[in-house]
Structure 1
Amino acid sequence: MPMSEVPVDDFRAVFAELARGAADRDRTGEHPYGLVAALGEAGFGKLRVPVEYGGYDVDLPTLFALLAEAGEADSNIPQIWRGHFTTTEILRRESDCAVRDRWSSAIGDGAVFGNAQSEPSTVGASTRDLSTHVRETVDGRYVSGTKFYSTGARFADYIRAAVADGAERRFVVLPARHPGVTHVDDWDGIGQRQTGSGTTVLADVPVEDLGDIGRGDDAVRGLDSFVQVVHLANLVGIARNLVSDTVELVRGRTRTSLHGLTQVAAEDPEVLGVVGRIQASALTAETLLTHVAQRLEDAHAADDERGFAATYLTVSTAQVAIVDAVLDAASSAFHAVGSSAVRNCVGLDRHWRNARTLASHNPVVYKPRIVGDHLVNDVYPNSGYYQQP
């Protein structure tokens, strides 16, 4: 579908509303339920759904560019939608036509998916690591268990949950608003506070008809890179917001330092240098995001396992650089504004807290070694989507 037919202006109108209240919501803990729903009503959730199911079928660079815009407005938003867009990627490669048709059509009609994959005790991909099981009855299949990091589930119509079904670990679709689903608002992270990334308790929740989704390696091929690039797009959005907030604070600063070279902060060479370096970090992150988004798009077009592995290495390399650049910028911004920047009412700290929280996903500490092992020893990493805790 041509981009002219994608309602980008409608998305940006909601982004603008999100931006106006983001700092206040961070302080008060208010969740953006209405605005997340408004994005869904505008068609945001069907960006990657094929046209035949009512979607816009945009390419990955376009999706990630829009997620960066959403992250610039409010960094909770790309993370809330991350599980949904992961589901649409799985459906694009779903081998069961009936399953693909059912859920792609549902999303094309406006349905939103949340995530309930992880549990605090899980350490691997084995069914023995999952407390969430499927119970077979004559009336159907039912799921009980407790999930954590269930980002987006409290905003959703359906939940894509990882469960132990006999000896298999698989994804099933559950109704997010069933009476047996309890969304506990207990996420206590230092950042990304309005993502709903807390506990979801499942008590005899029925598996939807045609609710087995993403079976087989092909359905999840490339997802290890995809889920990481969503976070990288979000970090780009944070970096942009950090630049604009710092510029605004410097322009409004009326005090200067004893050792300042001017009486006006907006004319101080050191202060201006800090702002310039923050912009350099933001540009670094943006450029790398554009690069890895196109690499992932190319890998999907080629549909080659080695190509996906090479893309994962590129994404991992970009992750190291983007995390370093954005965290450094989020810390350096305080040099430009002085002690007034640490006040809660200013909200500058939320950029570092949110970036630090995002950077802690898919731990970056392991990525340089993976990249180095490939360069020195020609070792390619295995796909790790099912192994992510």
Structure 2
Amino acid sequence: MTIAHPHTPAPAADAGQPATLDEALVRIRLILAELAEGAGERDLSGEHPYELVQRLADAGFGRLRVPREFGGFDVDLPTLVGLLAEAGEADSNVTQIWRGHFTTTEILRREADPDVRRTWLAKVVEGAVFGNAQSEPSAQVAALESGDGWGPLTTTVRRTETGERLVSGSKFYSTGARFADYIRAAVSDGEGGRTFVVIPARHPGVVHIDDWDGIGQRQTGSGTTIFTDVPVEDHGEVGREVEALRGLDSFVQIVHLANLVGIARSVVAETIDVVRARTRTSRHALAQEATADPDVLAVIGDLHVRRRTAEALLAHAAAQLEAAYASGTEEAYVDAYVETSAAQRGVIEAVLDAATRAFDAGGSSTARAGVHLDRHWRNARTLASHNPVVYKPRVIGDYLVNAHGPVSGYYAGRTGRTQS
């Protein structure tokens, strides 16, 4: 097990924030092309894309959803989702690394405290990256007992004699934290509830342990993070009011769906490359060349259908949540959650099927590690295990038949702050 203090990225080759969205998109897409080129080898070697993640920040990637009044690009949700799918196509680790950052940005867009909002959105515009630290390994059994899916938080904040607030505790699934400048951590609020605080990711009291041993998404930094007397930043309590958290369950799932769509696109593109490169076919094939084999071509056609299915479901879910943001009604947020859940079920089925069927387009050589085709199934399967899809058909059915709307997990345990 390797224990490492926060990584300090190398200076960016293209430092300096872009002035316009068009300029940012050019730079972002050039960096995504670099990420795509090395994604397969990084999966084998375990190398983390620190420098390229930092270059994305320098190119304005983190500013995409920041309102214009704070210097951001203020893109709508469908536009953001489309760019996250592009990132997932390049390297699905990258979209997940940034998931905590964009979740924090969504909270800040609706933050009630103007000083908190202004402070952190300004940091994001300057290129700061947020990581995530919510789940705790000690809460797994207790979460089942609590009924809210979270369990008690053992990460606490203590106040010193001078009034400084210090965070101590341990987190797991701390995705993106080792790439970040700041971490949004879930802590006990001292009243039996939960709150989010912002702490510096590179403080000496923050230790990142690279112990994520999942079958996929291996370069997301989703391991253990230990906090020992880490100070809460000024204006560091975010999302205290429920209004800032509305729609967040749907948003975080849609980020995963965008990532899965990116994987589906990679599956199609890389499988086509495999077919074009084949020099022989099976004895039962109807053609001597794979590019003329009707059965192989049908596999590619099926993969394309799965990709288009996933893309359509993602677009629908993103549009529903964007409409909920515009409406602001609880009914609209519930509808968005239900439609996101439906998309989750359909996207996962389509992408996992595509990632499995892809091997039918090639011979046994496609199973070799150097072809890198297996990483798509592993990454998709790992993403599909978040916010378990097994419960979603029942949630959808209960809403459609009985009008029982799902309750947001982000509202649970927030003392004195009820859903409006």
Q: Under a length normalisation based on structure 1, what TM-score does the superposition of the two structures give?
A: 0.97
Q: How many angstroms apart in 2 are the aligned matches of 1:234 and 1:375?
A: 28
Aligned to 2:51: 34
TM-score when scaled to structure 2?
0.90
Paired with 1:197 and 1:282, the residues of 2 have a C-alpha distance of: 27
- The yes-or-no answer on 1:108 pairing with 2:98 is no
Inter-partner Cα distance in structure 1 for 2:221 and 2:150: 25
Deviation (angstroms), 1:255: 2.1
Say yes or no: does 1:161 pair with 2:178. no
Specify the SS of the correspondent of 1:193.
coil
Residues 143 and 204 in structure 1, CA contact (< 8 A), matched pair in contact too: yes
- Please give the alpha-carbon distance, in whole angstroms, between the structure 1 residues aligned to 2:410 and 2:344: 16
- Specify the alignment match of 2:110 in structure 1: 93
SS of equivalent residue, structure 1 residue 7 = helix
1:369 positional shift: 0.6
Aligned to 1:120: 137
Matched residue, 1:14: 31
**Partners in 2 of 1:303 and 1:77 — Cα distance?**
31
Which of 240, 243, 264 lines up with 2:268 in the alignment?
Answer: 243
After TM superposition, give the deviation of residue 127 of structure 1 in Å: 9.2
Match of 2:198, SS state, is strand
Cα distance in 2, alignment partners of residues 128 and 276 from structure 1: 45
* Displacement after TM superposition at 1:4 (Å): 5.6
Say which SS state the counterpart of residue 202 (structure 1) adopts: strand
Q: Where does structure 2 lack aligned partners over 5 or more consecutive residues?
A: 1-18, 414-420
Question: Is residue 189 from structure 1 mapped to residue 206 from structure 2 by the alignment?
Answer: no
Distance 2:312 2:48 in 1: 31
Structure 1 residue 300 corresponds to structure 2 residue 325:
yes
- Identify which of 236, 245, 250 aligns with 1:211: 236
Let me know the Cα RMSD of the aligned residues.
Answer: 1.6
Identity of aligned residues (%): 63
Comparing 185-194 with 370-379, greater Cα deviation is found at 370-379
User: Whole-Å Cα distance in 2 between the matches of residues 234 and 78 of structure 1?
Assistant: 6
Distance between the aligned counterparts of 1:178 and 1:229, measured in 2? 31
Shift in alpha-carbon separation, 1:387–1:253, aligned structure 2, 3 A: farther
Amino acid at match of 2:83: L
Pairs aligned (count): 387
Pairing 1:1-389 to 2, within 5 Å after superposition: 5=22, 7-122=24-139, 123=143, 124=146, 129-139=152-162, 140-167=164-191, 168-385=193-410
User: Contact 1:6/1:56 (CA < 8 Å) preserved in 2?
Assistant: no
Query: Alignment partner of 1:384: what SS?
Result: coil
Deviations for 1:287-327, whole angstroms, at most 9, x for unmatched residues? 11111111111110111111001110000001000000000
CA shift in 2, pair 1:270/1:128, >3 Å: closer
Q: Deviations over 1:184-233 (max 9, x none)?
A: 11100000000000000000000111111000211100000000000000
